[in-house]
Amino acid sequence: MSWLLRGASPYGEERTDLLIRDGVIAEMGAGLSARGAELVAADGLVALPGLVDLHTHLREPGREDAETVQTGARSAALGGFSAVHAMANTDPVADTAGVVEQVWRLGRETALVDVSPVGAVTVGLGGTQLAELGAMADSAARVRMFSDDGHCVCDPALMRRALEYVKAFGGVIAQHAEEHRLTEGAQMNEGIQSAQLGLTGWPAAAEEAIIARDVLLTGHVGSRLHVCHVSTTGSVELLRWAKDKGIDVTAEVTPHHLLLTDDLAATYDPVYKVNPPLRTAGDVAALRAGLADGTIDAVATDHAPHSVEDKECEWGAARPGMLGLQQALSVVILTMVESGRLDWRGVADRMSGRPARIGGLVRDGHGGDLVVGAPANIVLVDPAARIVVDPAELASRSRNTPYAGMQLPGRVVANFLRGAATVLDGKAQR
Ligand code: DOR
Ligand code: ZN
């Protein structure tokens, strides 16, 4: 099947036609002939390379009531993604070649996005014994990113060994930076709001202490570190320092940390409970600036579906986490593009190019530029559209979106994975 995208604006720049044939961008230019191709009217639409998410919780195996690979993949396609990294905190944990291969195969069956499993760093996320990193790297899933996300690899000697181990195959350790001894019982950001609400606080220093330690370890052993969901001003400063020193560290920020603040905890609505917690307006400003200047490399969703039982209960008992895949691009448009902090090339860099390089997915054709000969992983976005988020309409099996009722800019009109349409006219094709 071939497609002619008529009048699209790659990166919001000059309008052109794009001809997709045999899974690649066969031609680009004005007035291309559509003979034999399906026509897609793309006037006014921005074309971007397919987005890549470094941090998705798909919940399969184990919590298929909250999300499956299929429903998560559909959310991702509708959000403009062509690839996602599936976090390891499933049940069973993705700490063996068998489990990562299972998730990878389920991803292939969706034919909506490429699912690249993240392997656990430690057995069962237990934090004491290294998992079989090499076997996961050698498996059909070809795992390159390892993370105990949800938990921090707190033992510094184990972290050092993990960093050393992945050097053999160009892997990366993605750290959920949280000094657990400093966050025991924590319910929200530690600050004025937590004091007023009487909720136990999660101090910024608990994140920053681990980042400081890990960039030093990474520099020492000459390995590669990725920092998950950076949330504080101090974390951005530490990353800037580490990058200046030439340490091989990258970092991500979530859409929710770019937009929402800790005063939402005053609603006691657990939809706003997340780990790391929502921070202050000052932190939000620092995160936006860090993403704009490249200190923070990528936007990653931390899409964390939770069942109604786990989320619609009292604040203290609720699981942390919120949905992100379907609204991530809209939140980035709102916070970064409409404010002039990033242009569309910047969005492509932070949501496709850099995440693909960090996760090792360039080998599979992700994260490249929109040029003739490139794999046709293309998303068409209407930047002028504004959509009111209705949780009931989301593709996820869960409903815990913090954006319910908000009017957000940008609509994913179409999405192509290696030339196959995964979304057309805003609707998932599978
Ligand atoms: O809010 C969060 N939810 N943070 C994490 O680190 C884990 C995630 C989850 O798995 O629900
Ligand atoms: Zn995490």
DSSP one-letter string for 23-72: TEEEEEETT---TTSEEEE-TTPEEEEPEEEEEE---TTT-TTT--HHHH
Q: Read off the pLDDT of each residue in 151-172 and give the average, rounded to a whole number.
A: 98
**Among 31-35, 72-76, 140-144, 398-402, which stretch is predicted with the lowest mean pLDDT?**
31-35
* pLDDT reported for residue 21: 97
With cut-offs at 50, 70 and 90, classify the pLDDT of residue 328.
very high
| Ligand 1 mutation target, pool 207, 275, 279, most atoms within 8 A of CB | 275
Q: What are the helix (H) ranges across 222-343?
A: 233-244, 255-259, 281-293, 308-311, 328-332
114, 283, 302, 382: the catalytic one is: 302
On the question of pLDDT at 34 being above 90, the answer is no
Residues 100, 102, 103: CA angle, nearest 5 degrees: 65
Contact 123, 153 (CB under 8 A): no
Q: Read off the pLDDT of each residue in 145-151 and give the average, rounded to a whole number.
A: 99
- The closest of 401, 415, 46, 381 to 259, measured between CA atoms, is 401
With cut-offs at 50, 70 and 90, classify the pLDDT of residue 124.
very high
Nearby residues of 98 by Cβ (< 8 Å), 6 or more positions away? none
Q: Read off the pLDDT of each residue in 175-196 and give the average, rounded to a whole number.
A: 98
The H-or-E segment that residue 424 falls in is strand 420-424
Strands 46-49 and 3-10, bridge-based pairing: parallel
With cut-offs at 50, 70 and 90, classify the pLDDT of residue 48.
very high
Ligand 1 atom at minimum distance from 178 CA:
6
- The closest of 282, 278, 285, 242 to 263, measured between CA atoms, is 278
With cut-offs at 50, 70 and 90, classify the pLDDT of residue 413.
very high
On the question of pLDDT at 40 being above 90, the answer is yes
| Ligand 1 mutation target, pool 87, 89, 401, most atoms within 8 A of CB | 89
Q: At 272, which amino acid appears?
A: Y
Neighbours of 108 (CB within 10 A): 11
Distance 266 CA to ligand 2 centre (A): 23
* Residues having CB within 6 Å of any atom of ligand 1: 57, 89, 149-150, 176, 274-275, 304, 319-321
DSSP 366-391: -S--S-TTSB--EEEEEEEEEEE--G
Ligand 1 atom at minimum distance from 274 CA:
1
With cut-offs at 50, 70 and 90, classify the pLDDT of residue 141.
very high
* pLDDT reported for residue 290: 99
Q: Is 149 a catalytic residue?
A: no
Q: Read off the pLDDT of each residue in 307-336 and give the average, rounded to a whole number.
A: 98
Separation between Cα atoms, residue 380 and residue 365, nearest integer Å:
18
With cut-offs at 50, 70 and 90, classify the pLDDT of residue 214.
very high
Separation between Cα atoms, residue 203 and residue 249, nearest integer Å:
23
Nearest CA to ligand 1 atom 7: 150
The pLDDT > 90 percentage for the chain reads 100
For residue 176, the ligand closest to its alpha carbon is 2
**Rounded (to 5) percent helix, strand, coil in the chain:** 35, 25, 40
* pLDDT reported for residue 224: 98
Nearest CA to ligand 1 atom 6: 150
| Ligand 1 mutation target, pool 274, 306, 315, most atoms within 8 A of CB | 274
Nearest CA to ligand 1 atom 4: 275
With cut-offs at 50, 70 and 90, classify the pLDDT of residue 417.
very high
Ligand 1 atom at minimum distance from 228 CA:
6
Separation between Cα atoms, residue 173 and residue 170, nearest integer Å:
10
On the question of pLDDT at 202 being above 90, the answer is yes
Nearby residues of 39 by Cβ (< 8 Å), 6 or more positions away? 3, 4, 6
Ligand 1 atom at minimum distance from 320 CA:
1
